[in-house]
Structure 1
Amino acid sequence: MVISSLADIALLSGQEILRIYGTEFVVETKADQSPVTLADVAAEAIIVGALRDAYPDIPVVAEEAAAAGRVPHTADQFFLVDPLDGSKEFISRNGEFTVNIALIENGEPVAGVVHAPAIGRIWWGGRAQGCFEAEVRDGARGAARPIAVRATEGALCAIGSRSHGSGEGDARLSRYPIATYLSAGSSLKFCLVASGKADIYPRFGRTMEWDTAAGDAILRAAGGRVECLDGSLLRYGKRNQADDTDFANPHFIAFGDTRFCALAS
């Protein structure tokens, strides 16, 4: 089963990330001015190697390889990997970083795993497979607990980026009955909406597909939806874009209770 093997791969890479997390690691800067550490590189090597061994016919698009210009041809099916989402959180040692692995089919994230090694949590979900979370101890998953988005009749809890802003005060959110704002790092925001701890995640800044695919898959499996600002579903495998680079996302809003999607129109 793909989703189970993706979770095992994420757990394996998470152990290596934690090993490096406990050292005095060096921080470098990539061409796009984003930070990178040995943990990013080491985790990606583990994940990509494991995916190629298990699924040799499915291409892997991974963040660090893409940054170096190594991007395979992608057709209807491919993996998207962010080996260490939330590098700023990793560097500041607040624990809010994740391993993201997703399977894309025909532009849709159909299976995804998000693992937060320092927090000791893992979330996974897929199309027609349900959505789950579990504790992680000593690199092993505990008992799986089903999760789902929550229905709400009134005030919403919005969650936004700890490093890039929550969206509070943005006029584009005025149509939603948002009462409280939370912040979290990395793809944890998707997981918190998927598990009913928040209701809406607006992102009006730049993201790449490997940042969002795994969390998007989990949220969809939990009953939510991720929309571009024009109301269309966020899609994957975007290449040769006229107004942006390959795999770059437009701005989007992730919803738990999809009844609120209608307010966007």
Structure 2
Amino acid sequence: MAVLHLHSAAHISSTVRPALPRRSWPSVRRSSPAVRSPRSSIPSPIERAEYHRELVAAIDAVERACRLCVDVKRSLLSSHGRILEKNDQTPVTVADFGVQALVSLELSKQFPSIPLVAEEDSAAIRSNNLADFVVDVTTSKTSSSDNPLSKGDILEAIDRGGKDAFSFGAQPATYWVLDPIDGTRGFLRGSESLYVVGLALVVKGEIVLGVMGCPNWQEDLSNVSRPGMIMVSHFGYGTWTKRLSYTIEGTNKVPEYWTRCFVDALRSVKEARFCIPDSQTWESLPLSTSYKAKNEAGSLKEDEILLLPSCCGSLCKYMMVASGKASVFMLRTKAERTIKAWDHAVGMICVHEAGGKVTDWEGSQINFAADLAERRIIFPSGGVLVTNGNLHEKILHMISTNSSII
């Protein structure tokens, strides 16, 4: 059985610290009261955690990246935009490359020996002469530096996360995993569509921390002027959220607090709230033989379940499960039966630390330590199942029973 460990006793040599032991929507969250942490760069309980320095750096990098996304998107609304397309026809914006350059630069300042596994390389912006624009949007968001950044610095930072930047050996490795913008279609759509900047740290094959920033997230739909949420996890210390710390021009910055979040407590498949990939249909999934999917809660019939609309990308679905807004996220692997590490790593630890569970469709843990493709590809059997934990075995049984029918 493949095993994904979500915590580690291994150490990064520069940051050895003793690890301490683990010490709407809203109506269906766990009954325990919200736990708040005073405003700080990280939730106060995590200040004593083994990888708290790495988490502080990751949070800062992701918040800077989210500010970059917001600014670039604002410029797209008032200009022609500079939109490319990947080979798989997913639209890619300059923000995608800018985020990768920015996060790479920020992390390399403090942890130069830890490699980066990320989605992009600089080939596209080199061939389309967009490097200067990426330099412009990136330099305004970096932390202070004595030397101005050149085009070469930006291209090198992007390529630091590319597939040819680092050669991994056969042994489990330590590395950052970045999805610069998960849900680029959501980035290009209106404010109701979600996209996520996702960053995780894997130590010796084990995910030890994760940070997701979602600039369009609306926790309170009545507060339309203050969208944006950041979600963080560290093994053994739970999952926490707060509003993004960017300031809208002309407004005063309001102090924010970290709030611990949990998966929902639902135990009935009929009552669960599901989400699936934007590219897949409910009818392509095994549970469709037992339930029809409806997009409105209303009065569901006995053979109907609620399928939440959630665009775009995979990481926003992990956020929904970890925050208690959804109960289940199901993804069926395509013919090649592989998925990209950056689409899942950070979401997995956030769900796990919020009390949920993530496995493949056979119930095996996802194995980050056995990657044979430069830590970029993982191999779940059948698909990925993300739940609140209570529903996991029930849904695995339904998948096992009905998979041969679909």
Unaligned runs of 5+ in 2: 1-51, 122-158, 218-227, 248-252, 292-302, 398-406
Residues 178 and 201 of structure 1: is their aligned pair in 2 closer, same or farther, counting only changes over 3 Å? Answer: farther
Deviations 1:213-246 (A, max 9, x none): 11111011111111111111122255336xxx95
Residues 203 and 214 of structure 1: is their aligned pair in 2 closer, same or farther, counting only changes over 3 Å? Answer: same
1:189 aligns with 2:241: no
1:127 aligns with 2:127: no
Whether the 8 Å contact between 2:174 and 2:202 is mirrored in structure 1 is: yes
Whether the 8 Å contact between 1:166 and 1:183 is mirrored in structure 2 is: no
**TM-score, normalisation: structure 1:** 0.87
Unaligned runs of 5+ in 1: none
1:142 aligns with 2:270: no
1:109 alignment partner, one of 188, 207, 219: 207
Task: Kindly state the Cα deviation for residue 108 of structure 1 after the two structures are TM-superposed.
Answer: 3.1
Q: Distance in 2 between matches of 1:7 and 1:93?
A: 25
**TM-score, normalisation: structure 2:** 0.59
Whether the 8 Å contact between 1:167 and 1:204 is mirrored in structure 2 is: no
- Give SS of 1:230's match: coil
1:158 alignment partner, one of 274, 282, 287: 274
Q: Distance in 2 between matches of 1:166 and 1:110?
A: 33
Paired residue for 1:239? 371
Whether the 8 Å contact between 2:58 and 2:199 is mirrored in structure 1 is: yes
Paired residue for 1:85? 182
Deviations 1:104-155 (A, max 9, x none): 1343322111101233111111211211111124258821110011222322
Residues 81 and 49 of structure 1: is their aligned pair in 2 closer, same or farther, counting only changes over 3 Å? Answer: same
Identity value in percent: 22
Residues 247 and 237 of structure 1: is their aligned pair in 2 closer, same or farther, counting only changes over 3 Å? Answer: farther
Give the letter aligned to residue 153 of structure 1.
R
Q: Distance in 2 between matches of 1:231 and 1:219?
A: 16
- Give SS of 1:22's match: helix
My pick for the range that moved more, 171-180 or 191-200, is: 171-180
Whether the 8 Å contact between 1:147 and 1:194 is mirrored in structure 2 is: yes
Give the letter aligned to residue 67 of structure 2.
Q
Task: Kindly state the Cα deviation for residue 183 of structure 1 after the two structures are TM-superposed.
Answer: 2.3
Q: Distance in 2 between matches of 1:92 and 1:106?
A: 38
Paired residue for 2:93? 37
My pick for the range that moved more, 100-109 or 169-178, is: 169-178
Task: Kindly state the Cα deviation for residue 261 of structure 1 after the two structures are TM-superposed.
Answer: 2.6
1:260 aligns with 2:383: no
Q: Distance in 2 between matches of 1:169 and 1:247?
A: 23
Q: Distance in 1 between matches of 2:180 and 2:65?
A: 8
Q: Distance in 1 between matches of 2:183 and 2:378?
A: 17
User: How many residues end up aligned between the 2 structures?
Assistant: 261
Q: Distance in 2 between matches of 1:100 and 1:208?
A: 13
1:201 aligns with 2:329: yes
Q: CA RMSD in A?
A: 2.6
Whether the 8 Å contact between 1:113 and 1:125 is mirrored in structure 2 is: yes
Task: Kindly state the Cα deviation for residue 57 of structure 1 after the two structures are TM-superposed.
Answer: 1.9
Paired residue for 1:73? 167
Residues 49 and 121 of structure 1: is their aligned pair in 2 closer, same or farther, counting only changes over 3 Å? Answer: same
Q: Distance in 2 between matches of 1:89 and 1:213?
A: 20
Whether the 8 Å contact between 2:273 and 2:307 is mirrored in structure 1 is: yes
Q: Distance in 2 between matches of 1:212 and 1:173?
A: 24
Greater fraction strand: 1
Q: Distance in 2 between matches of 1:246 and 1:219?
A: 21
Paired residue for 2:152? none
